[in-house]
Each structure stands twice: as structure tokens, then as C-alpha cells.
Amino acid sequence: MTTKIKPQQNKTFKKDVTEGLSSFPKRLSSKYFYDKKGDKLFQDIMAMPSYYLTGCEFEIISKNTFAIGELFRDRENGLDLIELGAGDGKKTKLLLKYMAENNFNFIYKPIDISENAVELLSKNLAYEMPTLNVDAEVGEYFEVLERLKGFNKRKKVIMVLGSNIGNLPHPKAIEFLTKLKEAMLPDDLLFMGFDQKKNPQTILDAYNDETGITEAFNKNVLTRINRELGGNFEVDNFKHWEVYDPETGTAKSFLVATKAMEVTIEELQLTVNFDQWETIHTEISQKYDDNIVIWLAKEAGLKIETSFTDEKGYYKNYAFRKI
């Protein structure tokens, strides 16, 4: 097992925070929720009964392990299994175990923006599946996409689980899918999770738990700015707020300033003024149906090969090929 851990670039964080807090309306990217504390909070979110996404996708993969595994298999040359946003790998381990036990010739390449997540996953896999060939890397999706083109000696399967695509508005999602398609050869597969449209209350409950875990997760971006960039946010003066528009299928998360305040961020030499009830937009979580997914895929030059869903029809994993 090899692990290439690339230290996270503080430069990008600085640039994104400067731009986001200087714009109107203010915004911060959800990718900065994740550090050691943020990873733990997200584990807690995934364990909440109201956060149905993880359980639904786990059900899909556990009930269809054989079908998904055999869809991935290449008996002649083997394959590279590349996972973007690998996290703790809980769902992926079901497939890895099946592949390892059924004579698949493959390398597993987990990639995640969180250095902590990559280290933990690598250690866990070394302990749980010591014979597995793992080549882990810390990085952002768009950084990694260019390098994926170099994986062209045999079949590759690119996995994006957890409806990570949902963090992108449709134009950005098309751009992302197009870049994935450009890295793919005709025999390659893209296996991706899409959270489906459903009862709006179910969606709101998933992102707005009463225990405040999701609020702490969103506020972790402010905690990181304080710790890493010398900010003086009074985190308790912000309230987490979630909205869902069933027409567009867009859930949005905000941090709302409960009082007027001035915040300074030393490392950025930046002063940010907040009016009372002013917002920072932190995240979108897009919801889909088959028609939207077909449209996104077509715009990106992809076609759906097959799909798998859970018992309630809350969530779907689609396999795509290049058109």
C-alpha cells in the first residue's frame, strides 16, 4: 500500500475566503467545512436517522454488490478504481471486499480534500485489507481531473459517492461531468450518486437537525478561518438556516448574522462588516430526478448505462459511459 499525501494548499483557502467574504451576497465554500473536527462532525451527521443519504446508498451498494462489482470488472487487464471524495470509505469497503475476494486485478485510488480523511482511510484499509493495493492522494477534484487522463493503460472506474455532485449548481455540474468525460476512454465507467427529489420535509430534516450537528458542521468554516487565518469571528453570533425549493430541487444552507458586527482576518488583512441578519451562503445540495440526470449527462457527452436505487426510491447510483 502506498499513500501520497499532498499538504492542503492554504493559498486556495485564503483566496476563496477573501473573494467570498468580499462579495455580495457573502459566500464560503462547503469544501472548507472539512478538517479533523469537520470530518468527525460529518461522521456524526451520517449517523443521524434524519440524514437518509448515507443509509440509502449503503443499502444500494450492499444489495447490489455483485451486479456493481461485475459491472466494474475487467478480466483481461484489470482496472483502476478511482474514488473522488472518498471520506471514510464505509460504503466503498463493501465493493473493495467483494473485489478483493473475487480475484479482481485492481488498484484502489481514494482521493479526498481532507488530509485527515485520507490518512484515516489508508490506515483502516491497511489494517482491514492488508493485501489491497491502495494509492491514496489528498487533492481537490478539479486538480485531480487533469491527472486522471494519465490513467489510460487499462479500464478505469471513477466513483463519486454521497451525492457530492449535489454541491454544484447545474452549469458547474455539467462542467465537472464534462471534465470527467474528457478523462475517460470508451471502456471506462463513471459511477455516481444522485440524491432524488422527494417530500420537501424529508429533505429539510436531513440538513437541519434539532441536535445542532449540521449547524456546528457549517460553522466549522468560521472556526477554521479563526484558527488558520487569524480571524475573530464570534461563531455563536451566527445561526444556521436551511431552505429547500421543490421547484428547482435546490437545498441551500446559510449562516445568518444575528447582530451587526465587524470581523477582522489578520492573515488576509481583511475587515468584514456584517449587518444584522446578513447571510453567508455556505452550501447547496441539489436534488434530482431521472430527467435532470439524463439532461446533465447528455450536456456533458455521457450516457446512462444503468442505475440502482434503494427501496424507498430516495437515492440513485448511475453508471455512465462516454457517448
* In the block, residue with C-alpha cell 427501496: 311
At 147 the pLDDT is 81
Do 161 and 310 reside in the same domain of the chain?
yes
Which residue type does 50 have?
Answer: S
Do 100 and 122 reside in the same domain of the chain?
yes
Nearest alpha-carbon partner for 151 in 120, 111, 114: 111
Examine residue 8 and state whether it is found in any structural domain, yes or no: no
Residue 44 lies in domain: 17-48+205-286
CA distances 272 to 20, 176, 220, 280, Å, are 11, 32, 18, 12
Examine residue 10 and state whether it is found in any structural domain, yes or no: no
At 4 the pLDDT is 46
Tell if the pTM clears 0.75, that is, is over it.
yes
**286-296: string of b/e by CB count within 10 Å (b at 16+)?**
bbbeeebbeeb
| Close Cβ partners of 158 (under 8 Å, ≥ 6 residues apart) | 82, 83, 84, 148, 180, 183, 184, 188, 189, 190, 191
Number of domains in the chain: 2
Do 76 and 183 reside in the same domain of the chain?
yes
Examine residue 12 and state whether it is found in any structural domain, yes or no: no
At 144 the pLDDT is 79
Examine residue 58 and state whether it is found in any structural domain, yes or no: yes
At 319 the pLDDT is 98
For the purposes of burial, counting CB atoms within 10 Å of the CB of 271, is it exposed (0-12), middle (13-18) or buried (19 or more)? exposed
CA distances 138 to 17, 31, 112, 122, 306, Å, are 20, 13, 5, 11, 30
Do 221 and 193 reside in the same domain of the chain?
no
Do 174 and 63 reside in the same domain of the chain?
yes
Do 177 and 301 reside in the same domain of the chain?
yes
Examine residue 38 and state whether it is found in any structural domain, yes or no: yes
Nearest alpha-carbon partner for 177 in 322, 8, 19: 322
CA distance 46 to 55: 8
Helix 36-46 vs helix 213-229: angle between axes, to the nearest 10 degrees? 170
| Close Cβ partners of 174 (under 8 Å, ≥ 6 residues apart) | 296, 299, 300
Examine residue 6 and state whether it is found in any structural domain, yes or no: no
CA distance 189 to 42: 28
Instruction: Report whether 86 contacts 124 (CB < 8 A).
Output: no
In tens, the pLDDT along 83-116 reads: 998 888 889 999 999 999 999 999 999 998 888 8
CA distance 2 to 267: 35
SS3 179: helix
Do 25 and 69 reside in the same domain of the chain?
no
CATH for 105: 3.40.50.150
CA distance 204 to 19: 29
Do 174 and 305 reside in the same domain of the chain?
yes
At 306 the pLDDT is 98
Examine residue 214 and state whether it is found in any structural domain, yes or no: yes
Do 155 and 113 reside in the same domain of the chain?
yes
Nearest alpha-carbon partner for 251 in 219, 277, 214, 222: 214
Task: Say whether the peptide bond before residue 130 is cis (omega within 30 degrees of 0).
Answer: no
Nearest alpha-carbon partner for 263 in 273, 277, 278: 273
Give the DSSP H/E element, type plus range, for residue 318: strand 315-322
At 3 the pLDDT is 46
Written as tens digits, the pLDDT of the chain (323 aa) is: 444 444 445 788 999 999 999 999 999 999 999 898 998 999 999 999 999 999 999 999 999 999 999 999 999 999 999 999 888 888 999 999 999 999 999 999 999 888 888 898 999 999 999 999 999 988 877 777 788 888 888 999 999 999 999 999 999 999 999 999 999 999 999 999 999 999 999 999 999 988 999 999 999 999 999 999 999 999 999 999 999 999 999 999 999 999 999 999 999 999 999 999 999 999 999 999 999 999 999 999 999 999 999 999 999 999 999 99
Which residue type does 62 have?
Answer: S
Instruction: Report whether 234 contacts 253 (CB < 8 A).
Output: no
Examine residue 11 and state whether it is found in any structural domain, yes or no: no
Do 162 and 246 reside in the same domain of the chain?
no
Do 138 and 163 reside in the same domain of the chain?
yes
| Close Cβ partners of 70 (under 8 Å, ≥ 6 residues apart) | none
Do 296 and 187 reside in the same domain of the chain?
yes
SS3 54: helix
